[in-house]
C-alpha cells in the first residue's frame, strides 16, 4: 500500500538568502547567521536525498528574506502544485517568484484565485484529508477558495482553528504515518486531530513538533532528546537535524521543502 502523505520521490528546496537576517519572527532572539544557516540547510538537503528523494535546490532569492521556507507559498497534492497566497505582507510576492519553478518541476500548476490568504505551513495532509488551520496567515476566505481545488484533486478539506499563539498549524504538528500525528499538547487539545492517533511532544520540547516524515524516516530537530526517545520507542526511525538558525526566524523542518512524487 502506498502512502502519498509521506512517501515521496522528489523534494524542492530553496537556498537560504543572506537577507534571512531580516526574516520575520514573533520574538527576537538574534539574527540567524547566513553561513551556519546554509550549512544546516545543506545537511537537510543531504538527509532528504539519503531518504530517497531527488532534491532540486533553487537559488537563494534575496528579495524575500523568508524564501528558504518554500513550503509556505505552495501546496503540492498528487504532483500538482497549488500556488497559494501567503498571509504575511513581506511574503506575498514569494508565490509569483516560485511559480516558474513549480511549472518546471511539478506535473501541473493551479493558482489559488482568492482575495484571502493561505500559507502552506497551515496545511497538514494525510493520505485522504487536507487539514487546514486558520491562523494569522490563513483566513476563511482563503480556505473557501482553496476547497474546490483540494476536492478536485481527490482530498477532503477540513478547516480547523489554530490556537492564536501558534504561528502555523504545522509549527506544532506533523504527520508520522497515515494514522498518526506528532503534536504539542496545546494543539492536540484543540481537537484538531479527530480520527488520528496523536503522540504528544514532551513538556519543554514543543518545538520538536515541526518534524517531517520522509519515506522510512522521521526528521526531528536536534535538542529534543525525550521526544526523540518517545518516537523511537513507538517504532519510528528518527533522523536528527540541526535547525538552530531556522528556529531564530520561527522556521523548522517542514517549512524548508516541498515534498512530492511524480
Under rule CB under 6 A, residue 71 binds ligand CIR: yes
Give the nearer residue to ligand CIR in terms of CB position, either 83 or 255. 255
| Cα-based distances in Å from 254 to 50, 116, 147, 151 | 17, 23, 22, 23
| Cα-based distances in Å from 76 to 40, 103, 155, 219, 236 | 24, 12, 12, 19, 25
Residue 168 bears catalytic tag = yes
Answer for which of 105, 106, 250, 257 binds ligand CIR (CB under 6 A) is 250
Under rule CB under 6 A, residue 24 binds ligand CIR: yes
Answer for which of 40, 72, 205, 206 binds ligand CIR (CB under 6 A) is 72
Under rule CB under 6 A, residue 257 binds ligand CIR: no
Distance separating alpha carbons of residues 35 and 171, to the nearest angstrom: 24
Stretch that binds ligand CIR, among 64-72, 100-108, 189-197, 236-244 (CB under 6 A): 64-72
Answer for which of 16, 32, 121, 142 binds ligand CIR (CB under 6 A) is 121
Distance separating alpha carbons of residues 146 and 82, to the nearest angstrom: 9
Residue 10 bears catalytic tag = no
Under rule CB under 6 A, residue 97 binds ligand CIR: no
Under rule CB under 6 A, residue 68 binds ligand CIR: no
Terminal Cα distance for the chain, rounded: 17
Give the nearer residue to ligand CIR in terms of CB position, either 55 or 234. 55
- Counting every residue written for the chain, the total comes to 262
Answer for which of 44, 69, 219, 236 binds ligand CIR (CB under 6 A) is 69
Cβ-contact 199, 182 below 8 angstroms: yes
Cβ-contact 214, 261 below 8 angstroms: no
Q: Residue of minimal CB distance from ligand CIR?
A: 121
Binders of ligand CIR among residues 128 to 187 (CB under 6 A) are 168, 170-171
Distant-in-sequence, close-in-space partners of 30: CB < 8 Å, separation ≥ 6 = 248
- Please tell me which residue in 13, 53, 125, 255 is annotated as part of the active site: 255
| Distance of closest approach, residue 181 Cβ to ligand CIR, in angstroms | 15
Q: Strand 173-177 and strand 180-183: pairing?
A: antiparallel
Cβ-contact 119, 94 below 8 angstroms: no
Give the nearer residue to ligand CIR in terms of CB position, either 126 or 174. 174
Distance separating alpha carbons of residues 209 and 221, to the nearest angstrom: 9
Active site residues: 168, 255
* Residue ranges that bind ligand CIR, judged by CB under 6 A: 23-25, 66, 69, 71-72, 88, 91, 121, 168, 170-171, 249-251, 254-255
Amino acid at each position: 500500500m502506498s502512502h502519498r502523505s509521506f512517501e515521496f520521490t522528489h523534494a524542492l528546496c530553496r537556498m537560504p538568502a543572506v537577507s534571512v537576517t531580516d526574516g520575520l519572527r514573533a520574538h527576537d532572539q538574534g539574527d540567524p547567521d547566513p553561513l551556519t544557516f546554509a550549512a544546516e540547510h545543506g545537511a537537510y538537503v543531504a538527509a532528504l536525498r539519503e531518504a530517497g528523494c531527488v532534491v532540486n535546490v533553487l537559488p537563494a532569492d534575496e528579495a524575500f528574506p523568508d524564501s528558504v521556507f518554500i513550503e509556505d507559498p505552495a501546496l503540492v497534492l498528487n504532483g500538482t502544485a497549488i500556488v497559494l497566497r501567503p498571509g504575511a505582507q513581506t511574503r506575498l510576492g514569494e508565490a509569483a517568484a516560485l511559480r516558474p519553478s513549480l511549472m518546471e518541476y511539478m506535473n501541473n500548476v493551479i493558482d489559488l484565485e482568492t482575495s484571502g490568504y493561505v500559507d502552506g505551513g497551515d496545511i497538514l495532509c494525510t493520505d485522504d484529508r487536507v487539514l487546514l488551520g486558520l491562523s494569522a496567515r490563513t483566513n476563511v476566505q482563503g480556505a473557501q477558495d482553496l476547497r474546490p481545488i483540494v476536492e478536485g484533486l481527490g482530498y477532503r478539506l477540513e478547516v480547523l482553528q489554530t490556537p492564536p499563539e501558534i504561528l502555523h498549524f504545522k509549527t506544532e504538528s506533523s504527520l508520522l504515518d497515515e494514522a498518526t500525528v506528532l503534536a504539542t499538547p496545546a494543539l492536540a487539545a484543540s481537537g484538531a486531530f479527530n480520527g488520528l492517533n496523536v503522540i504528544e511532544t514532551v513538556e519543554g520540547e514543543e518545538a520538536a513538533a515541526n518534524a517531517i516524515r520522509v519515506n522510512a524516516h522521521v526528521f526531528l530537530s536536534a535538542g529534543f532528546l525525550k521526544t526523540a526517545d518517545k518516537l523511537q520507542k513507538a517504532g519510528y526511525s528518527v533522523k536528527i537535524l540541526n535547525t538552530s538558525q531556522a528556529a531564530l526566524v520561527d522556521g523548522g523542518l517542514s517549512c524548508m521543502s516541498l515534498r512530492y512524487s511524480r
